[in-house]
Amino acid sequence: MLEKLESSLGRILGWGLIATTLLVTPLWALDPINPIKMLVVVPVGFMCLALILANRKSVSWGSYKIVLGLIGAFVVWQVLVVLISGGEPNQQLFGSQGRNTGLITYVAFSLVFLGSVIASNEEALKRLVIVVSIVGTASLGYGVIQAVGADPFNWVNPYSPVFGFLGNPNFQSSLLGILGAIVFAQLFDKGLKIQLKALIGIYLLVTLYVIKETASQQGFLVLALGIGVVVGFYVVQLNRGLGIGYGVLSILGFFVVLFGTLNKGPLASILYKDSVTYRGDYWQAGWNMTLDHPIFGVGMDSYGDWYRRSRTLAATLRRGPDTTSNAAHNVFLDISS
């Protein structure tokens, strides 16, 4: 029974991941990106819950005490936030326009997390590689179409036109970096045929091209970090001493890159962008909301309602009083605020 449950959860999560990533509605929606993705995530989450409850006798609940405790505490806390914070009720439930990260979405995320934990096994990892291949190939293909100016849809986007199915070049860049690292890891499969290794090489080259066209460098950083971790595991398996040396060099490299993004050190001229400072302003506003409204914050997905009141004077002067944001650009601060 447990194997059947794991298999069913795996299929639901796999198809849900594909649909959530790739579905957009550019022809008939004011927001063609977020509502349709929410419309997939929520049913997937509750389908996972229904399957788990229907097969509850086959689940070793004792193995998931910590996960269940964290999920239960998180959901209860979010419900209390909606009831106590005083934010606009509908916005807290469904999320702000262009985000849709309200209570309903976060409950669904929690259920997807629970389903993923229970479904996690070797077979699920193999299925994940297939899902990654499908999502990655589709995202790359559409990214190339956008990069060469052949997009059939007339998107309204003030940033790079290469944003895939996510509506944001930063999201597209990061997603391709994550997927690229997972695909790169398959090169270390000893049983992989040379033809498939060649395809992986082509996939990674196209990934680098599309990330470049997004004009968002974080995809390169995510890809480099992922490849570094994969190579690190391989080096440790070869020789523990080499693994320690590799780990030390990797940590040093990580901090050099980190300081570079913060406009410090030898890589500052390459890695630093003004947007990093702007994100710092958003983070500071989120932190101010957290301090001013501890525990329950200003309400689910209500950051935008309080941004002008919580930003610093420096942030106001830097970009002008009319510049605003409806997200802290940091998930932890979005939740805490």
Mean predicted confidence (pLDDT) in 154-158: 81
- Ranges of each domain in the chain: 1-120, 274-336
Q: Is the pLDDT of residue 148 over 80?
A: yes
Q: What is the pLDDT of residue 37?
A: 96
Q: Is the pLDDT of residue 284 over 90?
A: yes
Q: Is the pLDDT of residue 57 over 90?
A: no
Nearest-Å Rg of the Cα atoms of the chain is 22
Q: What is the pLDDT of residue 25?
A: 93
Cβ pair 305, 298 in contact under 8 A:
yes
Mean predicted confidence (pLDDT) in 199-224: 94
Q: What is the pLDDT of residue 269?
A: 78
Name the average pLDDT for the chain. Answer: 91
**How sure is the predictor about 24, in pLDDT bands with cuts at 50, 70 and 90?**
very high
The rounded distance, in Å, linking the Cα atoms of 27 and 22 is 15
Q: Is the pLDDT of residue 30 over 80?
A: yes
Output the CA torsion sign for 149, 154, 158, 161.
Answer: negative
Q: What is the pLDDT of residue 15?
A: 96
Q: What is the pLDDT of residue 12?
A: 94
Mean predicted confidence (pLDDT) in 286-315: 92
Mean predicted confidence (pLDDT) in 32-49: 95
pLDDT tens digits for range 164-199 = 999 899 999 999 999 999 999 999 888 888 999 999
Going from the C-alpha of 81 to that of each of 87, 116, 130, 288, 310, the distances in angstroms are 9, 26, 38, 17, 19
Q: Is the pLDDT of residue 72 over 90?
A: yes
